[in-house]
Structure 1
Amino acid sequence: MNPSLKSTSTRPVPVDMISPTRWIERGWEDLRANPLPGLLHGLLLTIFGWFLLWLAHDRFWLLAGAFSGFLIVAPVLATGLYHISRERMAGRKAGLGDVLNLWRSFDGRLVRFGFLLGLAGTGWVMTSAGLITLWSPVPILKPVDFVRHIVLVKEVGLFEAWLVLGSLLAAPVFASSVVAIPMLIDKSVPVSMAVTASWRAVADYPAPLVWWAVLIAMLVGLGMVTGLLGLIPVIPVIAHASWHAYRDLTAPKSSAPVPAH
């Protein structure tokens, strides 16, 4: 058997503070074993990011919220990569055709979940734009304006409020989707059950999942500061890693083995 097709199916290990880095390592292995679908996903989402930059290049008050909202919806757009990781764990290699078939199935559960995430993203875009335009003492047209008049001001106020509101929105969205989206690919369960399982995972492993969210934010930020080019590999790595996170987070605790030392 081709080494790249060799089954990587192993029983999930207990979730701890090291788990998020282990998920990233597994995601990188999945990308290396089957790079084309992942890099194509990353490229398409990066092109969309460039489109947002072009669309709102002189309206940074809109761009800041648009990028944040885009990241809220992005996990649904990467569902094909969860399928690829699942197939690799079973010793099979899925290609672009399998990803297209998944999208053509037009799974109503994913459509509904994506619609809800889209509403959340739209709500944040409007909230962010309103907050910046109404509270900023000067027009915010470019990134340098945002940094100079929002981020670097001595007074505590607008930037902190923007971060708090963004976090208040992002936290429940993350808690609702961290397990739910991969589960909808893996099992025939209703959206409500998948979301409940996701919140249960957050309740069971709060510290590792806070670190996982921070790690995702750091990787996405790294991709953005490279002119979005870094998102081409970052997006598939995070997507593949999210599949492995789901596997570990939903494993029965009693059956999870203790890692060998």
Structure 2
Amino acid sequence: MPTKELQPAPYTPPPSDAPPKRILHARFSDPLHWLLQAVRDFRAHLGISSFYGIAFWLMAVLLSAVFKSKPEYTMSIASGCLLLGPFLAMGLYEVSRLRELGLEPELSKSITCWDTHLKSMGLLVLVLIVLELLWGRASLVVFAVFFNTGMPSTTGVIRAIFNPDNWEFIVAYTLVGGGFAVLVFATAVVSIPTILDRDTDAITAAITSLEVVFNNTAVMMLWGVLITALVVLAFLTPWAMGLLLVGPILGYASWYAYRGTVQWIDKESDEPV
């Protein structure tokens, strides 16, 4: 009699060691609460806050100078800032995290807090850079299709872009750029704090961030508008000096946005951890 071939058992992945998470419901008043908590952290650690504020300000000054003199290199400098920015932001998250634990933050430790999360951070930053490159490619397509007055010179970029003859370009560029901005925001809004807090992989952190935005869409849209408004106001100050204040505060506030929307649960006791 022919022998019956044994079928291999289907693969069952091992259970995850990570605690389950619960996405919390955010209220419209929560973003203001996150900012108030951030202001307290800023005032409690002026030295650390000033260091990160100067770092963000220097990046903004460099980006602005390149845009004015050599706009063709703006995307390259922006990529460098996007590479460095998340690591600086994680240092601010570390300050707020330690304060919540009742510990005293130190500048040296905040600067190097990413070293134990390098793989996850590296992959997440790579994803963000890929999104930025796609954004840049899409921008070139929009320029080629909708720009009606010829490519602007290096000295008249802003004036040429906002020429009334280019209204179709402005609409298309806003829609495309806004779409990519929303995608980047949704992917990154709480992903880096998640990596810092739970040492998760980049994919889990990004999914958690998307879940937060999906489950609190209106509140997170408000949070994104507040972030944008504060950054714009900071840039409108002389020499963009407002970034010395706004940069660290938004960093601290992002940690509290994470803490206010993601809760980790102990598997045995079903209690928050």
Give the whole-Å Cα distance in 1 for the aligned partners of 2:149 and 2:259: 48
TM superposition shift of 1:52: 2.2
Pick aligned residue for 1:81 from 69, 92, 111: 92
Contact residue 49 and residue 67 of structure 1 kept, 8 A: no
Q: Deviations over 1:44-97 (max 9, x none)?
A: 122122222333313447648965995697344311100100001111121111
Please identify the structure whose Cα radius of gyration is greater. Answer: 2
Q: Does 1:160 pair with 2:171?
A: yes
- Residue 259 of structure 2 is matched in structure 1 by 247
Pick aligned residue for 1:213 from 224, 228, 232: 224
Query: One-letter code of the match for 1:224?
Result: F
Counterparts in 2 of 1:113 and 1:189: CA distance versus 1, 3 Å: same
- Higher mean C-alpha deviation, range 209-218 or range 99-108: 99-108
Give the whole-Å Cα distance in 1 for the aligned partners of 2:83 and 2:33: 23
- Residue 173 of structure 1 is matched in structure 2 by 184
Pick aligned residue for 1:232 from 244, 251, 266: 244
TM superposition shift of 1:21: 1.3
TM superposition shift of 1:146: 4.1
Give the whole-Å Cα distance in 1 for the aligned partners of 2:190 and 2:42: 20
**How many residues are treated as equivalent by the alignment?**
244
- Higher mean C-alpha deviation, range 18-27 or range 148-157: 148-157
Give the whole-Å Cα distance in 2 for the aligned partners of 1:69 and 1:18: 35
Give the whole-Å Cα distance in 2 for the aligned partners of 1:72 and 1:124: 16
Give matches, 1:105-120, under 5 Å: 105=116, 107-120=118-131
Give the whole-Å Cα distance in 2 for the aligned partners of 1:127 and 1:36: 41
TM superposition shift of 1:148: 3.2
Pick aligned residue for 1:94 from 105, 108, 117: 105
Give the whole-Å Cα distance in 1 for the aligned partners of 2:144 and 2:64: 18
Q: How many percent identity over aligned positions? A: 25
Q: Deviations over 1:220-249 (max 9, x none)?
A: 111112222111111110010000000011
Give the whole-Å Cα distance in 2 for the aligned partners of 1:234 and 1:133: 36
Alignment gaps of 5+ in structure 1: 1-12, 257-261
